[in-house]
Amino acid sequence: MKAVLGLEDGTVIKGKGFGAEGVALGELVFATSFTGYEEALTDPSYNGQILMMTYPLIGNYGVSYENFQSEGIKTEGFVVREICDHPSHPKSKSTLHEFLEKEGIPGICDVDTRMLTILTREKGTMRAALITGDDDGDRAVQLAKEQKPISELDLISKVTCAEPYQIKGRGKRFVVMDLGVKQSILSGLSQRDVDIVVVPADATLQQIQEYEPDALLLSNGPGDPMQAKNAISIANDLVGKIPIFGIGLGHQVIALALGAKTYKLKFGHRGANQPVKDVDTGKIYITSQNHGFAVDSDSLNDTELRVTQVNVNDSTVEGLRHTSLPIMSAQYYPEVVPSPRDVEFSFDAFMKIIGGCGA
Partner 1 sequence: MPKRPDIKKVLIIGSGPIQIGQAAEFDFSGTQACKALREEGVSVVLVNSNPATIMTDPETADTIYIEPLRAEIVAEIIAKERPDGVLAGMGGQTGLNITSELAEKGVLDRYDVKVLGTPLEAIYDTEDRDRFKHAMERIGEKVPRSRAVLSIEEAIDIARELGLPVIVRPAYTLGGYGSGIARTEDELRDIVEKGLKRSRIHQVLIEESVLGWKEIEYEVMRDAKDTCITVCSMENVDPMGIHTGESIVVAPVQTLTDTEHQMLRSAAIKIIRALGIEGGCNVQFALRDDEYRVIEVNPRVSRSSALASKATGYPIARVAAKIAIGLELDEIPNDVTKETPASFEPTIDYTVLKIPRWPFDKFVTADRTLTTAMKSTGEVMAIGRTLEESLQKAVRSLDIDMQLGDGQWNEEEIRALLQKPTDERLFVIYYALRHGFSVEEIARLSKIDPLFITKLKNIIDMEDVLKKDLSTETLRIAKRMGFTDARIAELTGRKREEINDLRRKSKIKTTYKLVDTCAAEFEAKTPYYYSAYETQCEVVPSDKKKVLIIGAGPIRIGQGIEFDYCTVHAVLALREEGIETHIINNNPETVSTDYDTSDKLFFEPLTLEDVMNVIEAEHPYGVMVQFGGQTSVNLAVPLEQELKRRPDLKTVILGTSPASMDIAEDRDLFSKLLKKLNIPQPDSDSATALDDAKEIAKRIGYPVLVRPSYVLGGRAMEIVYDEGDIERYMREAVRVSHEHPVLVDHFLQNAVEIDVDAVSDGKDVLIGAIMEHIEEAGIHSGDSACVIPPQSLSEQTLQTVRDYVKQITLALEVKGLINIQMAVKDDVVYVLEANPRSSRTIPYVAKATGVPLAKIAAKVMIGHALKELGFAEEQKIKQVSVKEVVLPFDKLPGADPILGPEMRSTGEVMGIDYDFARAFFKAELSADNPLPTKGTVFISGRDEDKPALVEIAKKMQDIGLTLIGTAGTAHYLTERGVKIDVIQKIHEGSPNVTDMMRKGGINLVINTPTSKAALKDGHEIRRAAVDYNIPYITTIQAARAAANAIVAIKKGKTTIKSIHEYHRELFNR
**Binding footprint of partner 1 on the chain (CB under 8 A):** 13, 30, 32-36, 38-39, 54-57, 60-61, 64, 67, 81-82, 84, 86-91, 111-115, 117-118, 121, 271-275, 277, 282-286, 312-314, 337-342
We find the least distance from the C-beta atom of residue 275 to partner 1, in angstroms, to be: 4
We find the least distance from the C-beta atom of residue 39 to partner 1, in angstroms, to be: 6
- Exposure string of 103-130, with b = 16+ CB inside 10 Å and e = fewer, is eebbbbbbbebeebbebbeeeebbbbbb
Phi-psi region for residue 64, left (φ > 0), alpha (ψ -120 to 50) or beta? alpha
Is the Cβ of residue 172 or residue 270 nearer to partner 1 in the bound state? 270
Is the Cβ of residue 194 or residue 343 nearer to partner 1 in the bound state? 343
We find the least distance from the C-beta atom of residue 33 to partner 1, in angstroms, to be: 7
Is the Cβ of residue 114 or residue 241 nearer to partner 1 in the bound state? 114
Whose CA is closest to 267, among 30, 77, 91?
30
We find the least distance from the C-beta atom of residue 257 to partner 1, in angstroms, to be: 31
Cα→Cα distances 135→13, 16, 90, 119, 128, Å = 9, 9, 36, 21, 14
Is the Cβ of residue 121 or residue 148 nearer to partner 1 in the bound state? 121
Is the Cβ of residue 172 or residue 277 nearer to partner 1 in the bound state? 277
DSSP state, 359? -
We find the least distance from the C-beta atom of residue 324 to partner 1, in angstroms, to be: 29
Is the Cβ of residue 160 or residue 287 nearer to partner 1 in the bound state? 287
Distance CA 50, CA 7 (A): 11
Distance CA 166, CA 213 (A): 12
Distance CA 130, CA 162 (A): 29
We find the least distance from the C-beta atom of residue 67 to partner 1, in angstroms, to be: 6
Give the total residue count for the chain: 359
